[in-house]
């Protein structure tokens, strides 16, 4: 602990600084002495000293990187030992088009793949479903069957490179496509690595691409935990996502609290199934946003690791890897502006630097044109180069937790943990995450925060460069990606041929077996894999589960 006499001396000197240095400045430029707040509306002092962290026991609560509670990082040497994975989120149009983009990214230095799916796929529909009309390939790649997955990863070594897939409602089925593709290539399941997002709770809270009600959705998620622990030891069976919570308008504190609350809820559900926490917890991963307030984001990541480690220990985890919070980060899509889009390069660079200084394990940097269209090749290359410059040129990767010990960062880390704990108490008063979702708690909190932020932007209290300050009269034009209109025709013809060429008797037996398993209490993953190997489509397989589980209809919360 800090020496009490020294702390008193620092407090005395701080008062002298305030009266002798700060107040004279305030008299000359009073607007610089108004209340300063970060994006969670936490008041920020003009100076932080040891006095602000005097009660903080560094030996107990910080320690070294790679040591419990992992505040300073999950690996002892951090990026000295292994740099973060550069994993650019990509997907559009057909599987063939996206395959070409993946190869382009790998040729330019990307070290991991990340799949974006179109809206029909996210909702478990095939491209030829009536509800899919007009939505093909616009925000991601269309994957309707194992055949599409085979084309998506054609000539890409899935046994050597890790893949992240952002899919939630139909996650077990899309994961089965990936596994079956590896099976057909003769790659042992023990060798394939990656992540399936599979975070259904945050769908009800923020992104809204849910399909089934919460209870069967949680059952499917736990099925993947159980199957993954048994069959795919290198696969992260969930990426518990704060990213979409933040994109929906939450504060950093809400992102931190709601994401970790979801994480603990999944752990409790798996333990209720009878799974041993140390069998599945090492493959749980997280996904956070990197937003504009540089130091708030760094403090968020550090606080998240410490909260998770302590919480998992309390739940009975014994293995070190069960307590490690490994996370992917993506820069904030919602912060990108259509006005003066080139300055998004600057925003993204600073957000990415915060993620690196906060200790991320993998990173996606958004492209400057994403407020206007899917990223062009030039824009995505510049986004990737941003990461490479941070790694190779800035020195940010030279030492572990370079901002550890900063009075401001340590104070803010503590403050964010305190605020998150208050949210945990409020969620517990509802009886847990699912009852809080059903009562609209998370949705209201996010909506109110989003509304408050937008009011500040429109009033000019909160500056967005190029939008409400430093505006240009003329429009700035940049080259945009043009979609091939023939892609949907190709996809529809492929589905037609697939249904004609497959063994439909085998298919019907597999779908019938899946229905029976879903109606009972067996793990559904082996049955889903049988359907996928029989070339059942996403819509057909998801349709069986829809019939058994029903579809969720969100209640009105306002």
- For residue 83, give the nearest of 460, 388, 442 by alpha carbon: 388
pLDDT at 368 over 80: yes
Cβ atoms of 488 and 132 within 8 Å: the answer is no
Whole-angstrom Cα distance, residue 495 to residue 128? 8
The pLDDT score that the predictor gives to residue 61 is: 61
Judgement on whether residues 27 and 153 belong to the same structural domain of the protein: no
**Average pLDDT, stretch 375-381?**
94
Question: 120 in a domain, yes or no?
Answer: yes
- C-alpha 274/C-alpha 277 separation (Å) is 9
pLDDT, mean of residues 190-194: 96
Over residues 52-78, mean pLDDT:
81
Phi, psi of 235 (to 5 degrees): -100, 135
Same domain for 234 and 370? yes
Which pLDDT does position 554 carry in this prediction? 87
Helix/strand/coil for 91: coil
pTM: 0.95
Q: What would the mean pLDDT of 370-381 be, rounded to a whole number?
A: 93
Indicate whether 346 and 443 sit together in one domain: yes
pLDDT the model gives residue 59: 40
Does residue 440 form part of some domain? yes
Residues 169 and 37 both lie in one domain: no
pLDDT band for 469, please (50, 70, 90 cuts): very high
Which of 417, 434, 459 marks a domain boundary? 459
pLDDT digits (tens, 9 = 90+) for 161-187: 999 999 999 999 999 999 999 999 999
pLDDT tops 50 at residue 269: yes
User: Phi then psi for 89, rounded to 5 degrees?
Assistant: -70, 125
Residue 38's domain comprises 4-59
Q: Indicate if 31 and 121 belong to the same structural domain.
A: no
For residue 480, being part of any structural domain is answered with no
Q: Which residues contact 237 (CB under 8 A, 6 or more apart)?
A: 196, 198, 224, 225, 227, 228, 229, 280, 283, 284
Number of domains within the chain: 2
Is 315 exposed, middle or buried, given 0-12, 13-18 or 19+ CB atoms closer than 10 A? middle
Assess if residue 177 is contained within a domain: yes
Q: What is the CATH number of the domain that holds 336?
A: 3.20.20.240
The first and second tokens of residue 506, run together, are 């085998």
Rounded Cα–Cα distance for residues 63 and 472 (Å): 49
**Residue among 242, 396, 365 nearest 308 (CA):** 242
Contact 361, 328 (CB under 8 A): yes
pLDDT band (50, 70, 90) for residue 483: confident
How would you write 444-482 as a 3-class SS string?
A: HHHHHHHHHHHHHHHHCCCCCECCCECCCCCCCCCCCCC
Query: Token pair of 230, please?
Result: 């048994």
Q: Would you place residue 479 in the very low, low, confident or very high pLDDT band (cuts 50, 70, 90)?
A: confident
Q: Is the pLDDT of residue 156 over 50?
A: yes
pLDDT at 476: 80
Contact 342, 368 (CB under 8 A): yes
> Does 222 or 2 have the greater pLDDT score?
222
**DSSP H or E run through 287:** strand 284-290
Q: Could you give the CA distance from residue 277 to residue 271 in angstroms, rounded to a whole number?
A: 6
Domain end position, chosen among 419, 440, 459? 459
In a domain, 102, yes or no: yes
Residue 97, in any domain of the structure: yes
Q: Are 12 and 115 members of one domain?
A: no
Q: Which residue has the higher pLDDT, 274 or 26?
A: 274
Q: Is the pLDDT of residue 333 over 70?
A: yes
316: left (phi over 0), alpha (psi -120 to 50) or beta: left
Q: Which of 283, 287, 223 is nearest to 258 (CA)?
A: 287
Q: Does the bond joining 69 to the residue before it have cis omega, within 30 degrees of 0? A: yes
Indicate whether 378 pLDDT > 60.
Answer: yes
| pLDDT confidence of residue 62 | 72
Closest CA to 49 of 24, 19, 13: 13
Res 55: pLDDT: 67
The pLDDT-based confidence of 32 (bands split at 50, 70, 90) is confident
For the ranges 12-26, 288-302, 388-402, the lowest mean pLDDT is seen at 12-26
User: Distance between CA atoms of 205 and 244, rounded to whole angstroms?
Assistant: 9
The pLDDT tens digits for 497-544 are 999 999 999 999 999 999 999 999 999 999 999 999 999 999 999 999
In this structure, the answer to whether residues 341 and 402 fall within a common structural domain is yes
pLDDT at 342: 96
Residue 58's pLDDT band, with cuts at 50, 70 and 90, is very low
pLDDT of residue 558: 58
Check residue 557 and give its pLDDT: 64
Burial class, 413, CB count within 10 angstroms (exposed 0-12 / middle 13-18 / buried 19+): buried
Answer yes or no: is 443 within a domain.
yes
CB contact set of 363 (below 8 Å; sequence gap of 6+) = 84, 85, 86, 87, 328, 329, 330, 352, 355, 356, 387
Q: Is residue 19 part of a domain?
A: yes
Residue appearing with tokens 């990509």: 90
> Residue 314: how many CA atoms within 13 Å on its side-chain side?
9
Q: Within this chain, do residues 106 and 217 fall inside the same structural domain, yes or no?
A: yes
Are residues 139 and 22 both part of a single domain?
A: no
- Tally DSSP H helices, then E strands, for the chain: 23, 9
**Among the three residues 432, 459, 486, which one is the final residue of a domain in this structure?**
459
Q: 47 and 191, same structural domain?
A: no
What H or E segment, with its residue span, contains residue 409? helix 407-430
- Contacts of residue 50, defined as CB under 8 A and 6 or more positions apart, other chains included, come to 2, 6, 7, 10, 407
Model pLDDT, residue 474: 83
Chain centre distance of CA 139: 17
**pLDDT, the chain, mean:** 94
Is the predicted pLDDT of residue 1 greater than 60, yes or no?
A: no
- Beta-sheet strands, E only, within 483-556: none
Name which of 542, 535, 541 is nearest 494 in CA terms.
Answer: 535
Same domain? For 50 and 124 the reply is no
Q: Specify the residue for token string 């008063």.
A: 429
Q: Which two tokens stand for residue 72?
A: 């300073």
Q: Which among 375, 374, 367 is positioned nearest to 351, based on CA atoms?
A: 367
- pLDDT > 90 fraction of the chain, expressed in percent and rounded: 88
Instruction: Check if the beta carbon of residue 313 is closer than 8 Å to that of residue 357.
Output: no
User: Measuring CA to CA, which residue among 159, 130, 162, 128 is closest to residue 145?
Assistant: 128
pLDDT of residue 33: 86
Do residues 111 and 37 share a domain? Answer: no
Radius of gyration of the chain (CA): 24
> Alpha-carbon distance 72 to 63, whole Å?
8
């Amino acid at each position: 602990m800090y020496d009490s006499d020294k702390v008193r001396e620092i407090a005395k000197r701080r008062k002298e600084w305030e009266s002798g240095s700060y107040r004279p400045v305030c008299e000359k430029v009073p607007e610089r002495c108004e209340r300063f707040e970060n994006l969670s509306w936490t008041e920020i002092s003009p100076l932080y000293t040891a006095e602000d962290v005097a009660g903080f026991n560094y030996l107990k609560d910080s320690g070294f990187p790679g040591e419990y509670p992992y505040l300073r990082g999950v690996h002892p040497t951090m990026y000295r030992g292994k740099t973060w994975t550069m994993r650019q989120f990509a997907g559009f149009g057909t599987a063939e088009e996206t395959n070409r983009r993946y190869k382009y990214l790998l040729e330019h230095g990307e070290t991991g793949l990340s799949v974006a799916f179109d809206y029909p796929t996210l909702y478990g529909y095939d491209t030829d479903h009536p509800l899919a009309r007009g939505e093909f390939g616009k925000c991601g790649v269309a994957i309707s069957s194992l055949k599409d997955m085979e084309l998506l990863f054609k000539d890409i070594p899935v046994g050597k490179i890790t893949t992240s897939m952002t899919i939630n409602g139909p996650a077990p089925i899309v994961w089965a496509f990936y596994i079956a593709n590896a099976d057909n290539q003769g790659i042992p399941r023990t060798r394939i690595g990656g992540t399936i997002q599979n975070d259904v709770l945050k769908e009800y809270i923020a992104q809204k691409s849910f399909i089934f009600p919460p209870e069967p959705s949680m059952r499917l998620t736990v099925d993947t935990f159980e199957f993954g622990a048994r069959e795919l030891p290198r696969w992260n069976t969930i990426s518990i996502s704060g990213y979409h919570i933040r994109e929906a308008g939450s504060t950093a504190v809400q992102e931190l609290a709601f994401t970790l609350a979801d994480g603990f809820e999944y752990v409790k559900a798996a333990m209720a199934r009878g799974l041993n926490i140390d069998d599945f917890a090492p493959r749980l991963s997280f996904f956070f946003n990197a937003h504009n307030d540089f130091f708030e984001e760094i403090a968020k990541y550090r606080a998240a690791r410490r909260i998770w480690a302590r919480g998992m220990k309390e739940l009975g985890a014994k293995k070190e890897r069960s307590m490690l919070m490994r996370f992917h980060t993506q820069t904030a899509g919602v912060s990108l502006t259509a006005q003066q889009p080139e300055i998004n390069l600057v925003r993204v660079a600073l957000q990415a630097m915060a993620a690196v200084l906060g200790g991320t394990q993998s990173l996606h940097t958004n492209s400057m044109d994403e407020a206007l269209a899917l990223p062009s090749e030039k824009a995505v290359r510049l986004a990737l180069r941003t990461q490479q410059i941070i790694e190779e040129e800035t020195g940010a990767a030279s030492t572990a937790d370079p901002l550890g010990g900063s009075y401001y960062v340590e104070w803010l880390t503590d403050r964010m943990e305190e605020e998150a704990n208050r949210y945990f108490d409020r969620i517990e008063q509802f009886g847990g995450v699912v009852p809080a979702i059903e009562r609209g708690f998370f949705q209201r909190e996010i909506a109110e925060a989003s509304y408050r932020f937008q009011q500040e932007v429109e009033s000019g209290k909160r500056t967005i460069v190029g939008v409400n300050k430093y505006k240009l009269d003329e429009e700035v034009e940049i080259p945009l990606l043009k979609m091939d209109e023939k892609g949907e025709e190709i996809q529809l013809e492929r589905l037609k041929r697939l249904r004609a060429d497959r063994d439909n008797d085998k298919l019907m037996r597999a779908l019938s077996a899946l229905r029976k398993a879903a109606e009972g209490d067996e793990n559904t993953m082996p049955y889903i894999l049988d359907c996928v190997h029989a070339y059942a489509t996403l819509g057909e397989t998801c349709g069986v589960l829809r019939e058994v589980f029903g579809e969720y209809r969100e209640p009105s919360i306002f």
